Structure 1
Amino acid sequence: MIKQHEKRLVSDVFKDIPAVDEAFVQRMLDEELLTFNQKIIVLDDDPTGVQTVNGISVYTDWSKDSIKQGFLEENSMFFILTNSRGFTASETEKAHADIAAVITEVAAEVDKEFLIISRGDSTLRGHYPLETEVLKKTVEQHSNQVLDGEVIFPFFKEGGRFTIDNIHYVQDEDYLVPAGETEFAKDRTFGYSKSHLGEWVEEKSEGKFKASHTTYISLGSIRALDLVTITNQLMEVKNFNKVVVNAVDYVDVKVVTIALLRAMKLGKHFMYRSAAALTKVMGGVNDKDLLTKEELIKEKSSNGGLIMVGSHVKKTTEQLEELKKCSFIEFIEFDCHLVLEPEKFEEEVNRIINEAEKLISQGQTVAVYTRRERLDLGEGKKEEELKLSVKISDAVTSIVRRLNVRPNFIVAKGGITSSDIGVNGLSVKRATVAGQIKPGIPVWVTGEESKFPGIAYIIFPGNVGAKTTLRETVELLSK
């Protein structure tokens, strides 16, 4: 038995995992998807959830018109950006109840079955289990669907997130570190201590759902292509108990998706809490090469680009330090701690807008970054800190919203930062995911309704990439 707190060498772990015939698995998956006719609706708690897909729509509101448009699209899947990781618990509860009610109403009108994927963080942060519990309750109240279980699937290869022996790991260079031992587990709002996903569910649900009642889909069954056993495991799930999926590569996702599709055809209904890998596989999204500058920047402009850095995780700070090696970028620090002094805070925002506008119009690429120390109000102040972080995010957003010059491109670093800039700064109602500029780093092409129509908007998650990836991304866009 692997202990939760043990970090493991990547090379040691992966050499013991049997290979599988991926082409054979893909053929089986394609056959299952041919007869699968449900609309997949992905509720994304920040805009980084599209980091594996391309050619898919993202709606930034959950009005009936938007959801109906999503249902009527040819694609089998669409995303709704909730940005709920930046919400309080009560805001999250209301949003998810509202969304689920509209989904069930529209589904009945268009006579279409659906399933909901609650796309959460691959490092297990977010309003869990609140979001999926509210979705389950609302869907069951407004339809005849009964949800038998919930599939927990945080694997995300591009970010180095793997589940092995039911323990979720985060890759740090040559090592796999149990998620509960990482900085992400110490998140002031969404912290946790368990790395074993069954125990994590028990911890987050305060004992309502037990690790001992959880169904575990093992890598042994997956790599043996034992679809009968996996499907039978799924058929036995009831009372909204949890299904933990082990995975180290996309082929594992494909095998489990085949079993899920078979179980659904036999009448089972599941809720999903997953990272971004499942959406790509279940949505039947094809691979696409990484995007080039020519694909992204189609309007010739002498203006510079804009980089907005908000995330405070260690990886973002390391990437920012690496970015500072670029001599062609002007850096502006935003003293966000002035949020405690409203007049000075407003002056600071005005200073940054004026400076950024002048530099961008002179052809200079500008990076605006928030002060790296987190604002700490002390113990027992989580909600107050969250509210202040929203004020800071609003200020960052206003910098983009008030710009009078169109940048050549925009990069936003951090999930909540990129959501707020996309929705409130750029006024995007519907965007198309063009693909990825680097693995796990998605690009929106903004709609005609937005502040800068057709601009390449790069959504760079706080916790993805190597130290050099942000610099490499900006260099690619700038050369």
Structure 2
Amino acid sequence: MQTNNRSVEEVFNNIPSVDTSLVQQMIEKELQRFDHKIIVLDDDPTGVQTVHGVSVYTDWSLESIDRGFKEDHPMFFILTNSRGFTAAETTKAHQEIGANIVEAAMRNNRKFTIISRGDSTLRGHYPLETEVLKDTVEAKSDMQFDGEIILPFFKEGGRFTIDNVHYVQYGTELVPAGETEFAKDRTFGYSRSHLGEWAEEKSNGQYSAKHMTYISLESLRSMNIDMIENQLLSVENFNKVIVNAVDYIDVQLFTIALIRAIHKGKHFMFRSAAALTKVIGGISDRSLLTRAEMMSDGTDHGGLVIIGSHVQKTTEQFEELKKSNAVEFVEFNVHLVLEPDQFENELNRVVETTNKWILEGKNVAVYTKRERLDLGEDRKEDELKLSVQISDAVTSIVKRLEVRPAYIIAKGGITSSDIGTNGLEVKRATVAGQIRPGIPVWTTGNESKFPGISYVIFPGNVGTKTDLREVVEMLSAK
């Protein structure tokens, strides 16, 4: 069933407003009595798009998870990077994560909530990840999950759920997610924009859209918290709860009802984008980061930008960056991955050029060849394996840097994850905030290759056409 595009202005003008100060008081009261440790599993590093002052761990060892439980902050993130995994790899990882969370929770005598943070354009290993987590936690503890909350709203990226249909904003129009380029993803594609039908499609019919629970904008905006709570109290058998939202106020109102239902004994798994984590984690608003906050050591070296993502928005932003006089460009011909010797020579050339220019005080943008490597429809797993080889090579550019850049920007979720964990060897980072809406910045830990460097995680599918160029020029200003 095709859903029509909708005008942003028309949709938003017809949604009733609510008393935000009253809602703020209500959510603060509920959060004060919510004593769960919130663990967010991030399938790429962009899930910290809405938070600040929160730890991100880049492994899921019992030691790291135990450290997260011991922190004062109610929430911490674990970067899984599982969007770059095969199904078998993500199954193994989530079994380990689930077991270690249960063990750490027992050690610290804490209740917990797991949020599987997925892409706001609905790509990723769903429902595999949340099913594995559910099965593992239930097997290792006495917890039984009643339902799964699906909440992909992400305001900063223009992702809204209205009448149970998930939309992606393009300019002044809302386009149903199933009709965007994201739905055509070779690994994680889908056809449905109605979230109930999407969940039915992704579960191969195991869960029926008509039997799911839907939290409407009407009930949220009428502040009918009791009704929403009762909806949640009636969910069972791991059925799906679809949450409509067009602004943070909707997530706040839903969270009030959610916490009340949890206090009455309900257990939920979550598949959400980045908005829910900000609300349930009690994260305050903060202004965008300034150059002065990010550039602390007065280096004469240039900065480094690495562009790995191939989505349309990245390509537009890259074309805009090319107009800047502040950057030198190095193309990395990753198609040579099919010729190992040539690929190694090409990588050496890129590394040498990048080192030389950064030392000379030039800002360098390394970009992978813009055409996708296409092996054919029946070789998706082979393509994924080659993409891992390519990602390893891109990561090694950072690993082999001999000079500390003034800053590092990585464009694309999987690219930024690999550079953070393997290139920069980060074990734990702190989210400093955002440099643009939806574009987070890590401050790297003492154990990393470049301690305390500002690492900008620039999602492939977020930002205006000029954001990448403007961010680079802001950080490059002497």
TM-score (norm 1): 0.99
Percent sequence identity over matched residues?
A: 68
8 Å contact from structure 2 (residues 326, 473) kept in 1 = no
Q: Supply the distance in 2 between the matched residues of 1:80 and 1:209 (Cα, whole angstroms).
A: 28
Identify the residue that residue 171 of structure 1 maps to in structure 2: 169
8 Å contact from structure 1 (residues 4, 167) kept in 2 = no
Identify the residue that residue 390 of structure 1 maps to in structure 2: 388
Q: Residues 346-357 of structure 1 correspond to what in structure 2 (within 5 A)? A: 346-357=344-355
Identify the residue that residue 112 of structure 1 maps to in structure 2: 110
The amino acid of 1:197's aligned partner reads L
Question: What displacement does 1:146 show?
Answer: 0.5
Identify the residue that residue 381 of structure 1 maps to in structure 2: 379
1:312 is paired with a residue whose SS is: coil
Q: Supply the distance in 2 between the matched residues of 1:435 and 1:189 (Cα, whole angstroms).
A: 31
The amino acid of 2:425's aligned partner reads S
Q: Supply the distance in 1 between the matched residues of 2:151 and 2:221 (Cα, whole angstroms).
A: 17
Identify the residue that residue 98 of structure 1 maps to in structure 2: 96
The amino acid of 1:141's aligned partner reads A
Identify the residue that residue 153 of structure 2 maps to in structure 1: 155
Give a deviation string over 1:293-322, Cα, whole Å, max 9, x none. 100110010000000000000000000000
Asked if residue 50 in structure 1 is aligned to residue 53 in structure 2, the reply is no
Asked if residue 77 in structure 1 is aligned to residue 75 in structure 2, the reply is yes
The amino acid of 2:386's aligned partner reads L
Q: Supply the distance in 1 between the matched residues of 2:204 and 2:73 (Cα, whole angstroms).
A: 38
Query: Alignment length, in residue pairs?
Result: 477
The amino acid of 1:112's aligned partner reads R
Q: Supply the distance in 1 between the matched residues of 2:351 and 2:305 (Cα, whole angstroms).
A: 13
1:431 to 423, 429, 432: 429
8 Å contact from structure 1 (residues 306, 360) kept in 2 = yes
Identify the residue that residue 418 of structure 1 maps to in structure 2: 416
Q: Supply the distance in 1 between the matched residues of 2:379 and 2:186 (Cα, whole angstroms).
A: 9
Q: Residues 149-228 of structure 1 correspond to what in structure 2 (within 5 A)? A: 149-228=147-226
Asked if residue 299 in structure 1 is aligned to residue 297 in structure 2, the reply is yes
8 Å contact from structure 1 (residues 155, 277) kept in 2 = yes
Give a deviation string over 1:446-471, Cα, whole Å, max 9, x none. 00000000000000000001110111
Identify the residue that residue 262 of structure 1 maps to in structure 2: 260
Q: Supply the distance in 2 between the matched residues of 1:63 and 1:379 (Cα, whole angstroms).
A: 36
Q: Supply the distance in 1 between the matched residues of 2:378 and 2:262 (Cα, whole angstroms).
A: 44
Identify the residue that residue 477 of structure 1 maps to in structure 2: 475
Question: What displacement does 1:160 show?
Answer: 0.0
Question: What displacement does 1:476 show?
Answer: 1.2
Q: Residues 319-468 of structure 1 correspond to what in structure 2 (within 5 A)? A: 319-468=317-466
Question: What displacement does 1:361 show?
Answer: 0.3
2:148 is paired with a residue whose SS is: strand
Q: Supply the distance in 2 between the matched residues of 1:379 and 1:180 (Cα, whole angstroms).
A: 20
Q: Supply the distance in 1 between the matched residues of 2:273 and 2:450 (Cα, whole angstroms).
A: 29
Identify the residue that residue 125 of structure 1 maps to in structure 2: 123
Q: Supply the distance in 2 between the matched residues of 1:36 and 1:474 (Cα, whole angstroms).
A: 40
Give a deviation string over 1:189-231, Cα, whole Å, max 9, x none. 0000000000000000000011011100000000000001100
The gaps in structure 2 that reach 5 residues or longer are none
Q: Supply the distance in 1 between the matched residues of 2:97 and 2:386 (Cα, whole angstroms).
A: 26
The amino acid of 1:234's aligned partner reads L
4+ aligned runs moved over 6 Å, structure 1: none
Q: Residues 313-324 of structure 1 correspond to what in structure 2 (within 5 A)? A: 313-324=311-322
Q: Supply the distance in 1 between the matched residues of 2:436 and 2:131 (Cα, whole angstroms).
A: 34
Q: Supply the distance in 2 between the matched residues of 1:475 and 1:433 (Cα, whole angstroms).
A: 22
Question: What displacement does 1:17 show?
Answer: 0.2
1:25 is paired with a residue whose SS is: helix
The amino acid of 2:266's aligned partner reads K
Q: Supply the distance in 2 between the matched residues of 1:167 and 1:470 (Cα, whole angstroms).
A: 30
Asked if residue 8 in structure 1 is aligned to residue 34 in structure 2, the reply is no
8 Å contact from structure 2 (residues 302, 405) kept in 1 = yes
Q: Supply the distance in 1 between the matched residues of 2:326 and 2:122 (Cα, whole angstroms).
A: 37
Q: Supply the distance in 2 between the matched residues of 1:379 and 1:366 (Cα, whole angstroms).
A: 35
Q: Supply the distance in 2 between the matched residues of 1:97 and 1:359 (Cα, whole angstroms).
A: 44
2:442 is paired with a residue whose SS is: strand
2:431 is paired with a residue whose SS is: strand
The amino acid of 2:452's aligned partner reads G
Give a deviation string over 1:349-396, Cα, whole Å, max 9, x none. 000000011001000000000011110001111110000000000000
Give a deviation string over 1:388-435, Cα, whole Å, max 9, x none. 000000000000000000000000000000000000000000000000
Q: Residues 17-56 of structure 1 correspond to what in structure 2 (within 5 A)? A: 17-56=15-54
Question: What displacement does 1:4 show?
Answer: 4.0
2:246 to 245, 248, 253: 248
Give a deviation string over 1:72-92, Cα, whole Å, max 9, x none. 000000000000000000000
8 Å contact from structure 1 (residues 433, 442) kept in 2 = yes
2:214 is paired with a residue whose SS is: strand
The amino acid of 1:102's aligned partner reads N
Q: Supply the distance in 2 between the matched residues of 1:328 and 1:56 (Cα, whole angstroms).
A: 32
Identify the residue that residue 235 of structure 1 maps to in structure 2: 233
Give a deviation string over 1:76-120, Cα, whole Å, max 9, x none. 000000000000000000000000000001111111000100000
Q: Supply the distance in 1 between the matched residues of 2:89 and 2:227 (Cα, whole angstroms).
A: 40
Q: Supply the distance in 1 between the matched residues of 2:222 and 2:402 (Cα, whole angstroms).
A: 58
Q: Supply the distance in 1 between the matched residues of 2:248 and 2:389 (Cα, whole angstroms).
A: 39
2:447 is paired with a residue whose SS is: coil
Q: Supply the distance in 2 between the matched residues of 1:300 and 1:472 (Cα, whole angstroms).
A: 20
The amino acid of 2:80's aligned partner reads T
1:254 is paired with a residue whose SS is: helix
1:284 to 282, 285, 289: 282
Q: Supply the distance in 1 between the matched residues of 2:377 and 2:427 (Cα, whole angstroms).
A: 38
1:115 is paired with a residue whose SS is: strand
Question: What displacement does 1:5 show?
Answer: 2.8
8 Å contact from structure 1 (residues 4, 196) kept in 2 = no
